[in-house]
Amino acid sequence: MLGKRLGLLKEVTPKVSRFGFLYDASSEATASRVAFEETQEPAKVLGVQLLSVAVKSPNPDFERAFQVIAKERIGALITSPSPLIQFHLMRILHLVKQKHLPAMHATQDWTAAGGLMSYGVHTPDLNRRAATYVDKILKGTKPADLPIEQPKKFEFVVNLKAAKQIGSNDSTECAGESGSGD
């Protein structure tokens, strides 16, 4: 998913070559860190650098993280879907807007709160599919006998109001879409 988010953000910001990935580094073995490492190859294919920008709980220093972003000349940001990052959504969005930084997020909560873009699983579809599992279990199917399924429906959301606030530095157009796919 991180590779797909990077690709979409690159399409919207074609002149940007340095992207940051804001994540919770409280544990080096986090899923976010693994995703970051796995996205280095897609970043090379896109011809961009993906740099890590870490914060740690319990008191994440987002101001320092955004100083690192400025120092490293990071031109666009991707946020991790980790609970720590999600919990500080409004604080992060404030800093992103303050820096006029294009950013991609994992859930539609971010775009609803004023963020620029999100790409992730379509939550209502996941809930509907979970209900099917519950129904099968209540009818006697053992949970171990049920297959593990991957998400099938994803959504890409662009907040046009946020796009206008960032400005036309990249002279690109944004459009939103929702649907299934990779």
Question: Is the domain of 38 the same as that of 93?
Answer: yes
Q: Which of 118, 114, 124 lies closest to 91 in space, CA to CA? A: 114
Output the pLDDT for position 181: 41
Distance CA 66, CA 55 (A): 10
> What residue ranges of the chain have pLDDT lower than 50?
168-182
The two structure tokens encoding residue 181: 């796919």
Q: Structural domain of residue 105, as residue ranges?
A: 2-121+153-180
Question: Is the domain of 42 the same as that of 62?
Answer: yes
Output the pLDDT for position 9: 92
Output the pLDDT for position 176: 39
Provide the CATH number for the domain around residue 90: 3.40.50.2300
Question: Is the domain of 161 the same as that of 114?
Answer: yes
Question: Is the domain of 91 the same as that of 147?
Answer: no
pLDDT tens readout for residues 30-62: 777 888 888 999 899 999 999 999 998 888 999
Q: What pTM was estimated for this model as a whole?
A: 0.79
**Domain total for the chain?**
2
Summarize the chain as % helix, strand, coil (round to 5): 45, 20, 35
Question: Is the domain of 157 the same as that of 70?
Answer: yes
Question: Is the domain of 104 the same as that of 146?
Answer: no
Output the pLDDT for position 114: 93
Question: Is the domain of 72 the same as that of 141?
Answer: no
Compute the C-alpha angle 140/144/145, nearest 5°: 65
Question: Is the domain of 44 the same as that of 133?
Answer: no
The two structure tokens encoding residue 156: 């890409």
